[in-house]
Structure 1
Amino acid sequence: MANPQLSQAAFDKLQAEFDDLTTRGRIEVANKIEVAREEGDLKENAGYHAAKDEQGHMEGRIRQLEHLLENAEIVEASQVYTIVYEGDSDDMAERYLIGNMEEVVDGADVISSTSPLGAALDGAEEGATISYDAPNGSLTVKVLKVDTV
């Protein structure tokens, strides 16, 4: 499996989230668990079970962030493709960033480079017409614009 590609901004955002969850987040959840334990019987203690569930979700996110940060490849620039599907008018155009789901670009959806559309668009130039096999059949798109972000 290829290393996740992230912009420096996305990497920094994920690092800040990781730092927050491993410090403040863990302390906060531990305090919630302690307060709930003081309420008594743990078998029927909804607050305790909710806090433990929150802890589990948070630890899962920490592990996910840890993997991303340890294996990330920092990329200088990403491409945002503005496309229109065959038969649609240009005002129905859609914008896609090919990258990691942790990336955020205003007005663009993020798709993986391994998805059918992502693989077809990767490296395409403005004005190109591209056909690709999607789960529901073959589709054709025209690349209206390619922006570097």
Structure 2
Amino acid sequence: MDKTPLTQRGADALREELKRLKSVERPRIIAAIEEARAHGDLKENAEYHAAKEEQGFIEGRIAEVEGKLGNAQVVDVAKVGAQAGGKIVFGATVEVADENTGDEFTYQIVGEDEADIKSGLLSFASPIARGLIGRVEGDVVDVAVPGGQRTLEVLAVRYE
């Protein structure tokens, strides 16, 4: 299986989530199950069944996060940027202008699990990122997006 690229910030966020799940959420749900058990008959105990279901979700998320971290290739953005020669690569922060509207946007190209378009974090697998990767400052790119065609001019490329 291929490694999945992840920025250091994304890897740190997953590690923090894993720590919270194991040290806060897991003990909380175990205590809730014990408390519900103390109420007696488990067949008709809604609190017990709800707590067991939540435990299943928490354990599933722990396994998912551990799998993502185990399969992650953490990318040092500054190091990759030094080798990129000004090209847009994974981890790059890119300023673009939409030639149709004149709007300017700043995106960082990140792993799929880190993507959050509202925060300017764009998955490397998204149509815009795929259109930008390999381009340099000054390039004009036509990108097919779900809403139609966009023409973007690359204004700046940074590696931070």
Normalised to the residue count of structure 1, the TM-score between the two structures is 0.80
Number of equivalenced pairs: 146
Structure 1 residue aligned with 2:92:
79
Deviation string, structure 1 residues 5-53 (Cα, Å, up to 9, x no partner): 1223332332233233234432221111111122234344332233223
Distance in 1 (CA, whole Å) between partners of 2:39 and 2:144 is: 57
Distance in 2 (CA, whole Å) between partners of 1:61 and 1:20 is: 11
What SS does the corresponding residue of 1:31 show, helix, strand or coil?
Answer: helix
Structure 2 residue aligned with 1:66:
66
What SS does the corresponding residue of 1:34 show, helix, strand or coil?
Answer: helix
Coordinate RMSD, CA, aligned: 2.5
Deviation string, structure 1 residues 48-97 (Cα, Å, up to 9, x no partner): 233223212212211221111111111110211222222212xx322222
Unpaired segments of 5 or more residues in structure 1? none
Structure 2 residue aligned with 1:55:
55
Distance in 2 (CA, whole Å) between partners of 1:97 and 1:42 is: 50
User: For residue 81 of structure 1, what is the amino acid of its counterpart?
Assistant: V
Q: How do 1:119-138 and structure 2 match up within 5 A? A: 119-138=130-149
The worse-fitting range, judged by mean Cα deviation, of 44-53 and 24-33 is 44-53
Pair 1:97 & 2:108 matched:
yes
User: For residue 96 of structure 1, what is the amino acid of its counterpart?
Assistant: Y
Normalised to the residue count of structure 2, the TM-score between the two structures is 0.75
Distance in 2 (CA, whole Å) between partners of 1:109 and 1:40 is: 51
